Structures are given as structure tokens and as C-alpha cells.
Amino acid sequence: MKSIYHFFVTAIVLWAGFCGFFISYVILCKHQYNTSFDNVVVLTGDSKRITHAFHSVEAYKPKNIFISGVYEKTTLKDISQNRHLKNVGIILGKQAKNTKENALEIDKWAMENNISEILLITSDYHITRSILELKHVNGGLKIYPHEVKSDINLKFVWQCIKEFHKIVYVCIRNFVEGLESLYASNKISAI
């Protein structure tokens, strides 16, 4: 009975430690670049993300802003809010409903347009999982993360805890899918 108690206490301490580490990482991590990017990709989900992408035009001078996960009835006028973005193509991706689908939508757009690197804009707590999903579908795509910083409050902590669990799930899923494809390729080559 004592060993079960120790197991649960150890598991809770490890879980709390990893969650705390992730929250600290999200708070402290900030990427800034002194270069331009031809292609900026922004994931919907928080209105600050799109606003941040439009503000990035001055700093990064993109030729294109691809917005993934846009609601199907949303128009370019709704998104741009009458901003005059000269020499910037704004592309609305309307197929994605979640982060995994964002990755597939971005990959399709990148492949169709021969794009090999992007500046990725999303919320600070969401950037890690977004990169994991993108790298899983397109390992050759070079991704420069750019976080939209969140207000640090109880809602943010809760969001980070939920996101930590999603990241663990994505890592396990990607690992299992990798093993399955390795097994399938070995089975085919053995025939």
C-alpha cells in the first residue's frame, strides 16, 4: 500500500514539475528576428494573433500572409479591418478546424507555392504544439516561431496546463505513427 502511495505522490510531483517548467518556458521564451520573411503564417484562435501578423508587416516585410483556420464565411475585408497593406498578399485558409488541420493546410499551401520557410505567428502557449504538428507533416519546412505574448493570469496558467497535455498527446501520437510507418515499410521490404 505504501508503494502505491509513493507512486502517486511521485507521479503528481513529476506532473506538477513538468507543467511548471512548461509554463515558465512559455513566459520566458520570445523570438525576435532582424531579417525579412517572404511568408508569414498566422493561426487563428485569438484575435490578437491576426492583429500581430498585420503589425509584423513593418518589421518583416512579407510578400504573403497566410491565415490558417479562418471561419468559412469570413471575408478578406472582415480580416483586414480596412487596413491598407500594400504589396502584401493575404491568403485565407478556410479548411482547418484544429491545430493538426492547420498543419495540413499550411503544408498544402507551402507545397503548392514552393515555400521552404515561414515565420509562424500564434499564441505563446500554442507555438510548441503548432511546430510539432507542422514538422510532423513537413519535416523540411523551416519554421521561425514568433509568439504572441499572453497576459499572465489564471486563465493563462490553465491554458498552459491544457496545452501541455495536448503536447504530450501529440508527441505520443507522432511516435506511434512513426513506429507504424517503420513497421509497414519493413514489412513491405521483407516481401
pTM for this entry: 0.86
The x, y and z cell numbers of residue 81, run together, are 479591418
Domain 2-186 has CATH 3.30.365.10: no
Q: Comparing C-alpha atoms, which of 176, 106, 102, 167 is closest to residue 142?
A: 106
pLDDT per position as a tens digit, 48-62: 888 888 888 888 888
Residue 91, φ and ψ in degrees, nearest 5? -115, 130
pLDDT per position as a tens digit, 105-164: 999 999 999 999 999 999 999 999 999 999 999 989 999 999 999 999 999 999 999 999
Within 8 A by CB and 6+ apart from 90, the residues are: 64, 65, 67, 76, 79, 80
- CB count within 10 Å of CB 183 equals 10
The x, y and z cell numbers of residue 147, run together, are 509568439
Domain boundaries, the chain: 2-186
